[in-house]
Amino acid sequence: MKKNLIPLFILAIVMVILTACPYASQVPIDTPSVKVQNPLLGKWIKAGDESNANPNYFVITKNDDFKYKIIKNEYNSYDSAYKETIYISHISKIDNLEFMNMQQDGTGDFYLYKIVLGQNEFSLFEVTDNIDEKFTASPDLKAFIKKNMNLSFFYNKDEEKYTRSN
């Protein structure tokens, strides 16, 4: 029995190592100053999951005039239940691009994503965690992003696309 578990354990470790995570920053790109955009509010299902009986999805609501409350719902087939993760987020604009500054439970590090909002859909691009620089001031982080945001390797390869659910 133990011999059967060893390959599974090794596979799990490899999957964790190969799974990309967004860059985590101690500071946001800037203070919340972009008003909440109503087209972003609602329930969003991960593209490709629409036909699943239990799709992964986000519910985005207004937390205040400048911040969103985002509830990420991921289905766990082992428990036959959804796991909720709550984020408080705000959008920062740099030139013509928009970035989400997401904090789990509204505390701790900020996870950074480029967001592209379309007609009843949006795409998230994780800012790569391969960045070695650490920032203690938002203006320095913002300047770094502005310098590198148009480079393809600045983002992890996987784009996450979500479509509006009624």
Q: Decide if 52 is inside a domain.
A: yes
- The pLDDT value recorded for residue 157 is 85
Q: Decide if 60 is inside a domain.
A: yes
Alpha carbon separation from 34 to 75, 123, 127 (Å, rounded): 32, 19, 20
| CATH number, residue 36 | 2.40.128
Domain span at residue 46 reads 18-165
Over 1-68, what HEC string results?
Answer: CHHHHHHHHHHHHHHHHHCCCECEECCCCCCCCCCCCHHHCEEEEECCCCCCCCCCEEEEEECCCCCE
Q: What is the mean pLDDT of residues 37-50?
A: 93
Q: Decide if 40 is inside a domain.
A: yes
Confidence of residue 1 (pLDDT cuts 50, 70, 90): low
Give the total number of structural domains in the chain. 1
Average confidence score pLDDT of the chain: 88
Q: Decide if 9 is inside a domain.
A: no
pLDDT digit string, tens, across residues 81-128 = 999 999 999 999 999 999 999 999 999 999 999 999 999 999 999 999
Is the whole model's pTM more than 0.85, yes or no?
Answer: no
Q: Strand, coil or helix: what is 147?
A: helix
Q: Decide if 2 is inside a domain.
A: no
Q: Decide if 96 is inside a domain.
A: yes
- Nearest 5°: phi and psi at 132? -85, -25
